[in-house]
Amino acid sequence: MMIRGATRMTRTVMGHMGPRYFSTAILRNDAGTGVMTGAAGFMHGVPVNPSEKALLTWVRHIPVMGSRSASTMALNDKQHDKKVENGGTAASGGGDGGDEKSVVSYWGVPPSKVTKEDGTEWKWNCFRPWETYKADLTIDLTKHHAPTTFLDKFAYWTVKALRYPTDIFFQRRYGCRAMMLETVAAVPGMVGGMLLHCKSLRRFEQSGGWIKALLEEAENERMHLMTFMEVAKPNWYERALVFAVQGVFFNAYFVTYLVSPKLAHRIVGYLEEEAIHSYTEFLKELDKGNIENVPAPAIAIDYWRLPKDSTLRDVVLVVRADEAHHRDVNHFASDIHYQGQQLKDSPAPIGYH
């Protein structure tokens, strides 16, 4: 009698609570399996068969929130399956000129469609048309900061010391040398911009535009690398060397910038002077015919707005001009610190190419 009374009470309670706490989505989802019929019959006082008793035991142990979440998941799964059947929301893989792949976008983020000025489709995802520019080839390549202070001399001779193993390893292979150089040259701007970003957050102050200027420098150096990757294919040991050098240089420059930003920027200024020298030697080898003057990569033509018939020599010219601008920016940043000021006190040369 007690068991029968408890069963009747349970039926009454579940009859009131069931429609409220159990989503109709679950009932519809399970209609094909017969579970809905058993549950509905149980909730409305229909005699219980053994399978319904098993369902009762299962239902009594399900948390309410779990049931609500399960119903939402079931509904979302149905909607997702429906999207897949209908083709989904296609997003371009856009591998910078590679094959496009259809991606189902659950979040509804549409792929951006960018076109050139002539209306043709823009094929690069790593940069946009408004980020392209014409390099200033009139910049003075002979400018040099004469080291006078101890830190200046330390920075100068450190860079000179780093040049010797590079000359021994690469010798006259300037394509691979340029590629290796850019894997290192793209690090300082990112490290400096990151540290200035964190400093701006800690001190609740602006950076004077220097965060953007340094990140622009890092991105520009990375685009140099993307260009030379089309010209020189690194060997496995050169890739391994990049891993080692980048790991050491990143951490060393990070610590240097924390201790003395003026020393860090001075080192980069001298590194850029060496880069100008290396690209000048690259041009000499091209002019002598020791290196084939192949057509310019498509990515370089679009990034620097070069003529369609440009060659590798034209690419080296614009890259060398970029390095000269980076030289000026970093020596200028170091001078600001030497004069006892902060970078935020002087407007950053944003867009200085």
- Helix residue spans in 35-149 (DSSP H): 35-43, 50-60, 64-85
Helical spans, DSSP H, in 45-173: 50-60, 64-85, 150-170
Position 64 in a domain: no
Q: Is residue 225 part of a domain?
A: yes
Q: Is the pLDDT of residue 43 over 70?
A: no
| CA-to-CA dists, residue 210 to 255, 263, 312, 330, 344, angstroms | 19, 17, 32, 11, 7
Q: How many domains does the chain have?
A: 1
Q: Which two structure tokens, joined as six digits, stand for 225? A: 């690398």
Establish if 203 belongs to a structural domain: yes
**164 falls within a domain:** yes
Q: Rounded to whole angstroms, how far apart are CA atoms 184 and 28?
A: 60
Whether pLDDT at 73 is above 80: no
Q: Are 179 and 234 in contact (CB under 8 A)?
A: yes
* pLDDT 10s digits, 167-225: 787 777 777 788 888 889 999 999 999 999 999 999 999 999 999 999 999 999 999 99
**Residue 322 domain-assigned (yes or no):** yes
Domain housing 186: 150-345
Q: Within a domain: residue 315?
A: yes
pLDDT for residue 195: 97
Q: What is the CATH number of the domain that holds 262?
A: 1.20.1260.140
Q: How far apart are CA 6 and CA 182, in angstroms?
A: 78
pLDDT score at 147: 95
Whether the per-residue pLDDT at 94 is higher than 50: the answer is no
In a domain, 117, yes or no: no
CB 331 within 8 A of CB 193: no
What is the number of other CB atoms lying within 10 angstroms of the CB of residue 94?
Answer: 17
Contacts of 297 (CB under 8 A, 6+ apart): 227, 230, 231, 315
Q: Is 6 inside any structural domain?
A: no
What is the tens place of the pLDDT at every residue in 278-322? 999 999 999 998 989 999 999 999 999 999 999 999 999 999 999
State the Cα angle at 32 between 27 and 34, rounded to 5°.
Answer: 75
Per-residue pLDDT tens digits for 136-169 = 999 999 999 999 999 999 999 999 998 888 878 7
| Residue 89 reports pLDDT greater than 70 | no
